[in-house]
Amino acid sequence: MKSSVPFINATHMMRAFGIGLMTIMFPLLAAAYGLHAVTIGIIISVSVFFGAIYTFVFTRAASRFGAVPFIVISSLMFLASSVIYFQHHGLGLLFVSILGFIPPIGGIFASALEEGVLSHVPSAQRTRSYALYGMMGTAGGALGSLAAGFPEAVGLSFSSEVNVLLAVYGIVSLSAVVLSTFLFATSRRHRVKIADTAEPSTASGHLIKSRGIVYRLAGLFVIDASGSGVVTTPLLVYWLHTHFGMSGPHLALLFFGEQLLEAISFPLAERLSRHLGLLNTAVFTHIPSSLLLIAVPFSPNGMIVALLLLVRGLLVEMDVPTRQSYIAAVVQPTERVEAAGITSIGKQIGRAIGPVMGGLMLGTFGTLVPFIGGGVLKICYDLTLWQSFRHIKPLASDNMVHTLEE
């Protein structure tokens, strides 16, 4: 397991860099192709829909064959998306969405597989492992967003800028293929398996004992992700570009700063959870971030919006490593990969619903409704999660020190 973790983190970072790059480029490409907010929302939702299908199929198959081969397949799909982007046509965005690689959560099915592998890290190091995984992914996304602003900043034309950035995206996707291939070779050499064959009756990894809690969590994640999906990063970029006239370099710097703060928040969340507990850390850092989201459309200028988004960046991802660690702790070891897949699908369903709602709200009602609606949905999720799970402890077989209620 130890020898596989660096390759998992590096592959995740490469993929996040590519998605971070396209988080800035995708809305600008869509605008150049003449697509409107509703169409952008539909393309994002198609990507999320197919991502959910891949998550279900890959994690089910991984329970039997292992996750690593499907991580390699996901990297090849990442590379295929770069080839399609080079076609320079609006229809190409639809084909990329069918591959599941449209930002902001492109390739999430690969993340579900990687999280399933990391769930078998010993419990004492699990939250820290998830924090490192999340930090590297978010840092990769931040660097990708920053890189997206360089060509315009040095004076390249839009067409030249697109060609340069798509070339970078292609190199990064090829790097992910190489890294995941090394991961595959390492896993074969050390015979890393997803399922714990100590329990033959559950060696397939399908949910049995943990079904109730996993589906309850997945249902709550639909609500949370719907709130996030109402104001996705591409739609936010589109709104900042059209409402405040923010240029590509300014948007790149803003989202680099936001994602850099998100990356810093992962180890902070792990440390904070030692004192507050996993649940309290997740909920009581997430609620303020939603209040900051609600405040965004009331801002008088782009400077205030940028400040709110940066402060939110320090809080909004603190629930991720604690939540991932908790899911791994409350399900049977043989069921962890599929549990990661089912809860990921819950998030993806919400992400599929949210962008269409957000695009319609933005186009029909203006700025206020999507920001307020998204923030309220996320606060409802936090309060329900806390009320429903504050008394549920990890399995006795998992020697994890921190419970949700501590």
In this predicted structure, what is the pLDDT of residue 237?
80
HSE of 95, CA atoms in CB hemisphere, 13 A? 14
Give pLDDT, residue 395.
Answer: 65
- Identify the CA nearest to 44 among candidates 302, 314, 234, 265: 234
What number of other Cβ atoms are within 10 A of residue 199's Cβ? 12
**Has domain 5-191+226-389 been given CATH number 1.20.1250.20?**
yes
Q: Model confidence at 403, in pLDDT bands (50, 70, 90)? A: very low
Neighbours of 247 (CB within 10 A): 14
Give residue limits of the domains in the chain.
5-191+226-389
pTM: 0.79
Q: Identify the band that residue 286 occupies on the pLDDT scale cut at 50, 70 and 90.
A: very high
Whole-angstrom Cα distance, residue 85 to residue 167? 10
| Start-end of H helices in 365-403 | 368-389
Q: Which helix (H) or strand (E) holds 29?
A: helix 5-32
Q: Which of 228, 193, 267, 198 minimizes the C-alpha distance to 350?
A: 228
DSSP code string of 156-213: --HHHHHHHHHHHHHHHHHHHHHHHHHHHHHHHHHT--SS-TTSGGGTT---STTHHH
Higher pLDDT among residues 168 and 233, named by residue? 168
> What per-residue confidence (pLDDT) applies to 205?
55
Which residues, in sequence order, are CB contacts of 60 under 8 Å at separation 6+? 206, 338, 341
| Structure confidence by residue, pLDDT tens digits, 100-144 | 999 878 898 999 999 888 888 877 788 889 999 999 998 998 899
* pLDDT at residue 158 in the model: 83
